[in-house]
Structure 1
């Protein structure tokens, strides 16, 4: 069964279950491992070795068409629980049929930067909220693929919790 994911049909953004309207697009976090250079005897050169389950700063940005109330609400200096829910279009090459695949990206995010944009007659404001992401969960068709929780030592990728033994070693579980 050859499935070809083609495109995002549409998406919605929610904070604590409330639909946030007026959004143009969302820039999702990049996941970049924290690394340390390892060199010395027994190594022919240098290796950028990842720190198991640890990642650099992750940010996400919500871009708005116009200046709306949620922009100011999302400046409140507290954690915001945001859900980005989308419908992906997937083509089955064997049957020639399309199906819809649910994608959900959930973040717990702290406000970092707010751009109120610009005022221009007949144009978008291009306002934005940028956040520091401290929790990330990616689910496709109900299957959890990624869960990173920086404050609770969770790094779950493709069915494996890479920080489980670290939590045990630290007496956290």
Structure 2
């Protein structure tokens, strides 16, 4: 019987600035696909056709303690991939003691910045939602998923899922 890998510690970097002790939490991007049900003659049920990434897009939500002016300066970034965030997590499996490093690098721009409640003598928190155009998940040094929406790239477990489509349309 095994125990799951649990996050023991993490850090978040915003364009290279480390938020150790400042970042309170990160809601990592959800990977989702747009699927459409299809049922043709001779089929006793539906099969979902994969139409690419979900229309909801990729996003990352994160919170910091206090006020982070760097984030406010990034609001309204002109480039859709203007802000780079890097999550570094240390996961440990408690039955073996083994650590696994997880890195998620994303690029995008802040969709929302919530400065939270302002009350003297109380804890303050700033919440951000960053809409993403780039996502790369690396586990123990191995790239598992890389998605670059603007450059029509989707690599899953080392397989370039869009290579044939790029070839077919001449890019």
Same fold (TM over 0.5): yes
Structure 1 residue 27, shift from structure 2 partner: 0.8
Query: Tell me, which stretches of 5 or more residues in structure 2 are unaligned?
Result: none
> In the aligned structure 1, how far is the partner of 2:109 from the partner of 2:45?
39
Partner Cα distance (2:122, 2:164) in 1: 53
Structure 1 residues 154 and 40, CA gap change in structure 2 (3 angstroms) = same
1:130 counterpart residue number:
129
Q: Quickly say closer, same or farther: Cα 1:87–1:141, change in 2 above 3 A.
A: same
Q: CA deviation at 1:37?
A: 3.0
TM-score relative to the length of structure 2 = 0.85
Q: Look up the match of 1:31.
A: 31
> Distance in 2 between the 1:82 and 1:44 partners?
46
Aligned residues: 166
Query: TM-score with structure 1 length normalisation?
Result: 0.84
Q: Which one of 76, 82, 85 corresponds to residue 85 of structure 2?
A: 82
User: Which ranges of structure 1 fall in alignment gaps of 5 or more residues?
Assistant: none
Q: 1:149 to 1:40 in 2, by over 3 A?
A: same
Hey, what does 2:66 align to over in structure 1?
A: 66
- Normalized per residue, the structure richer in strand is 1
CA distance change for structure 1 residues 42 and 151 in 2, over 3 Å: closer, same or farther? farther
